[in-house]
């Protein structure tokens, strides 16, 4: 078990994945003279709270960290040991973790990027590949954002902060097998307020790409299945957010939506997204294109795996 003893605000901003929060001493001037006197009455409530916390989260050894692993961690460790609770200090604290995390983004990974225009069903295919034993990093799931103006419509809670997104991504990278292909969906630099770390994003830009070609009618069907149940006013707000890029088509798209002409609305919005995606794909290393005519995930994922095995192995040779 890992325990983050920094302030609640620091924990919310970003913490080591899986760590629990138990803030400790954030008025050093008040406590410095009493740090080693754990019999002082002022410690009674804190000791009782930590004892209850440890009972609720039993562990053979608790690994604690503050920002740098210095006096706050040592004071907490001394207090815990005085209570008979075994703890160990993570050397260097959260700052050391950040350094190790950032180093992971600079490593080389055998990435294959799955690309395709909006509505191509890339996320569903990645999920199917994962179920079939492939290594997949779902950046949108980690970021809790779909990577577009409509990317937060399915999430009720606020998006996690960029610092925590980087922490969770690093933890995912730490667990991958670098001898096997890692599938990722093609993304821009940002997923809402979560930015893909620059070294990793640059590696995605250089990686081989397999592009899905899906008929427009099928893409519209996919989008309606995903967003058709969402409150109309939320969709209108999202459309307003891209007014600058959608241009004169904005009022037409909103009018069609209010008239419940969902297909017409999607067609208008896709004009903008398709143009933007064409620019995003310029200069990319597209090693293969898979034409998808239906939603048979099992068949399409099998074709993707075969295509990847054939094309990527040729590149490596």
Residues marked active site are found at: 66
Mean pLDDT for 10-23 is 96
- Six-digit token pair at 17? 């994945």
Task: Pick the closest to residue 269 from 284, 301, 247, 289 (CA basis).
Answer: 247
HSE-CB of 6 using CA atoms within 13 angstroms? 20
Q: How far apart, in whole angstroms, are the C-alpha atoms of residue 31 and residue 209?
A: 57
pLDDT of residue 31: 55
Is the pLDDT confidence value at 269 over 90? no
Cβ proximity of 256 and 238 under 8 Å: no
Q: What is the pLDDT at residue 36?
A: 61
Average pLDDT over residues 27-51: 73
Question: Strand 62-65 relative to strand 20-21: parallel, antiparallel, unpaired?
Answer: unpaired
- Structure-token pair, residue 109: 């990974």
> In this predicted model, which residue has the larger pLDDT, 32 or 131?
131
Rounded to two decimals, the pTM is: 0.87
What is the predicted pLDDT for the residue at 317? 46
Segment 213-232, tens digit of pLDDT:
999 999 999 988 887 777 88
pLDDT per residue over 140-183, tens digit each? 999 988 766 665 566 556 778 999 999 999 999 999 999 999 99
Please report how the helices 249-258 and 262-280 are oriented relative to each other, as an axis angle in degrees rounded to 10: 140
**CA–CA dist 295, 48 (Å, integer):** 57
Residue 147: the pLDDT is 60
Among the listed residues 273, 106, 122, the one whose alpha carbon sits nearest the alpha carbon of residue 183 = 122
Find the DSSP H helices in 242-296. Answer: 243-246, 249-258, 262-280
Burial of 190 (0-12, 13-18, 19+ CB in 10 A): middle
List of long-range contacts for 69-73, beta carbons under 8 Å, 24+ apart:
69/93, 69/95, 69/96, 71/28, 71/35, 72/5, 72/24, 72/25, 72/28, 73/5
We find that the CATH architecture of domain 110-316 is: 3-Layer(aba) Sandwich (3.40)
pLDDT for 316 beyond 80: no
pLDDT band at 289 (very low <50, low <70, confident <90, very high): very high
Averaged pLDDT, 18-44: 73
pLDDT value for 192: 84
Q: Which of 109-118, 119-128, 244-253, 285-294 has the lowest mean pLDDT?
A: 244-253
Distance from the Cα of residue 65 to its chain's centroid: 23
CA–CA dist 308, 181 (Å, integer)? 9
Domain with CATH 3.40.250.10 in the chain: 2-101
Q: List where CATH 3.40.50 sits in the chain.
A: 110-316
Mean pLDDT of the 235-239 span: 84
Superfamily of domain 2-101 in the CATH hierarchy = Rhodanese-like domain (3.40.250.10)
pLDDT of residue 35: 56
Tell me the average pLDDT of the chain. 88
Beta-bridged to residue 288, according to DSSP, are 210
């Amino acid at each position: 078990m890992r325990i983050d003893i920094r302030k609640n605000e620091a924990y919310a901003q970003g913490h080591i994945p899986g760590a629990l929060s138990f803030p400790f001493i954030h008025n050093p001037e008040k406590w410095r003279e009493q740090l080693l006197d754990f019999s002082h009455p002022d410690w009674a409530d804190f000791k009782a709270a930590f004892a209850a916390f440890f009972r609720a989260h039993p562990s053979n050894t608790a690994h604690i960290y503050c920002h740098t692993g210095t006096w706050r961690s040592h004071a907490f460790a001394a207090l815990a040991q005085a209570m008979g609770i075994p703890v160990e200090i993570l050397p260097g604290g959260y700052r050391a973790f950040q350094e190790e995390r950032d180093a992971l983004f600079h490593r080389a990974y055998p990435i294959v990027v799955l690309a395709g225009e909006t509505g191509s069903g890339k996320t569903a295919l990645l999920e199917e590949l994962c179920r079939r034993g492939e290594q997949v990093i779902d950046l949108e799931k980690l970021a809790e954002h779909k990577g577009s103006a409509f990317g937060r419509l399915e999430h009720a809670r606020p998006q996690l902060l960029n610092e925590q997104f980087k922490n969770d991504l690093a933890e995912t990278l730490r667990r991958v097998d670098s001898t096997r292909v890692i599938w990722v969906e093609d993304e821009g630099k940002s997923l809402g307020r979560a930015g893909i770390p620059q070294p990793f994003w640059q590696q995605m830009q250089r990686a081989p790409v397999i592009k899905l070609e899906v008929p427009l009618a099928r893409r519209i069907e996919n989008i309606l299945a995903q967003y058709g149940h969402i409150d109309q006013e939320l969709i209108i707000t999202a459309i307003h957010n891209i007014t600058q890029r959608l241009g004169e088509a904005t009022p037409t798209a909103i009018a069609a939506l209010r008239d419940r002409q969902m297909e017409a609305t999607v067609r208008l919005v896709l004009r903008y997204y398709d143009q933007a995606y064409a620019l995003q794909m310029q200069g990319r290393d597209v090693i293969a294109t898979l034409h998808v005519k239906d939603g048979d995930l099992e068949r399409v994922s099998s074709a993707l795996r075969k295509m990847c095995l054939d094309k990527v192995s040729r590149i490596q040779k």
